[in-house]
Structure 1
Amino acid sequence: MKFGVIVFPGSNCDRDVAMVPRDLLQQPTRMVWHEESDLSDLDVIIVPGGFSYGDYLRCGAIARFSPAMKATVQHAERGGFVLGICNGFQVLTEAGLLPGALMRNRDLHFVCDRVPLRVERTNLPWTQEYQGGQVITLPIAHGEGCYYADADTLKSLEDHHQVLFRYSTPTGEQTDAANPNGSLNHIAGICNRQGNVLGMMPHPERAADPALGSTDGIHLFKGLLNALVGTR
């Protein structure tokens, strides 16, 4: 199973996330420069966090036009798996792979913290290693992580069970205090209808190694790997 991590000018989480499949899961992993257009050797493409192209214009607005992202869109359309984390989530919405947009945090401050998330759905490869309703803790670090979509889009997301993670209290409740950025419906991560594209603001790679004090994030990668290996 081969993973690829896209590297944009301004990426700063690419090496962090590459460490998970390469070192912790022992899977072939390569760094993909943003100018590459042939990603046909990859099974999973990860769009990492950071500040792609310096976040000029809007977060992810320039990255969407890169050759690597055009190839990523084609990969997703063929059913390939794509994971966008933090800035990567912003890039996926700009590229049209996921609905909605990420806006300035409610209090207009950059937030760096560890937050509880409630797992909403477990019948997809991304979340099959979790339990429904389980509360996990993952780090966040963003200034524009407030998920926004119009009412019809939000209804469609809920109707099709596309919300995989929500900000919550440690006991799984949704309160204003437990929503670090003001995201509508407490949304922290969503998938497309097919379930092969996932975007999330929290960083699972920062909670994947026991040396970091938490392994809640590694199960996302393990679940995906086990599902893909099982289909081979």
Structure 2
Amino acid sequence: MKVGIIRFPGSNCDRDVFHALELAGAEPDYVWWNQRDLSNFEAIVIPGGFSYGDYLRAGAIAAITPVIEGIKDVVKDEKPVLGICNGAQILAEVGLVPGVFTLNQKAQFICEWVELEVKTTRTPFTRLYQKNEVIRMPIAHAEGRYYTEYIDQLHDQDQIVLGFVGDNPNGSMEAITGVCDQEGLVCAVMPHPERASESILGSDDGLKFFKGIIDY
């Protein structure tokens, strides 16, 4: 299964995602920000980092690059799209998932391991977990606080993917740290599953995010 990994100037988790996808059994390949045609890929991952130095706000400049139109075509073709950290911010910026990821409540960069609850298993990325399963992955962001005006709609349509367990480190609404679109095929998460893809890293709980793409 060919999976495209989008690269922007400032992406820095692309190689980590490449490795995790290989561990899961996929065939990853890099895609630069100026590539429009993504039709040869069966899924897309937008990795973390600091695209364009997070100028204006995280994801704002990346949102107007040619590859975004290609990603929208992938969504129309009903193929899975995963955005991790900066990738999640980009997906929210272009309206492919509801809400926004904005400045942390304490206005500082947070880098720590957290416990997370899997809120839904209807996405390709969470289908191998159990609903309400608690998993462990790291976060690393300064703009990860989730907010939406349509929280009731998210509950009604089962669009909440991940939530913090216990402490809410960035002040997100209802401790939400991952959401999906109505169809469940576009998923935006702030935690880094690729950094929890092998037990030697401290946890392999995140590997199922990538194995789920193949299973789907």
Given the two structures, how large is their TM-score scaled by the length of structure 2? 0.97
Q: CA deviation at 1:74?
A: 1.3
Q: CA deviation at 1:131?
A: 1.2
Q: Which residue of 1 aligns with 2:4?
A: 4
1:2-41 mapped onto 2 (5 Å cutoff): 2-22=2-22, 24-41=23-40
Is the 2:98–2:180 Cα contact (8 Å) retained in structure 1? no
Name the aligned partner's letter for residue 42 of structure 2. D
Per-residue deviation, residues 87-110 of structure 1 (Å, max 9, x unmatched) = 000000111101111111011111
Is the 2:24–2:207 Cα contact (8 Å) retained in structure 1? no
Per-residue deviation, residues 166-195 of structure 1 (Å, max 9, x unmatched) = 0113xxxxxxxx101000011110110101
Structure of larger gyration radius:
1
Q: CA deviation at 1:207?
A: 0.2
Unaligned runs of 5+ in 2: none
Instruction: Please say if 1:207 is aligned against 2:196.
Output: yes
Cα distance in 2 between the residues matched to 1:29 and 1:183: 32
Cα distance in 2 between the residues matched to 1:25 and 1:130: 15
Cα distance in 2 between the residues matched to 1:3 and 1:145: 25
Per-residue deviation, residues 195-231 of structure 1 (Å, max 9, x unmatched) = 100000000000002221210000111122112xxxx
Q: Which residue of 2 aligns with 1:181?
A: 170
Q: CA deviation at 1:7?
A: 0.4
Cα distance in 2 between the residues matched to 1:49 and 1:80: 20
How many residue pairs were aligned? 216
Cα distance in 2 between the residues matched to 1:80 and 1:130: 20
Unaligned runs of 5+ in 1: 170-177, 228-232
Instruction: Please say if 1:142 is aligned against 2:135.
Output: no
Q: Which residue of 1 aligns with 2:114?
A: 115
Is the 1:64–1:70 Cα contact (8 Å) retained in structure 2? no
Aligned to 2:29, what secondary structure does the other structure show?
strand
Cα distance in 1 between the residues matched to 2:122 and 2:44: 21
Identity of aligned residues (%): 46
Cα distance in 2 between the residues matched to 1:186 and 1:192: 18
Q: Which residue of 2 aligns with 1:52?
A: 51
Q: Which residue of 2 aligns with 1:161?
A: 158
Q: CA deviation at 1:63?
A: 0.4
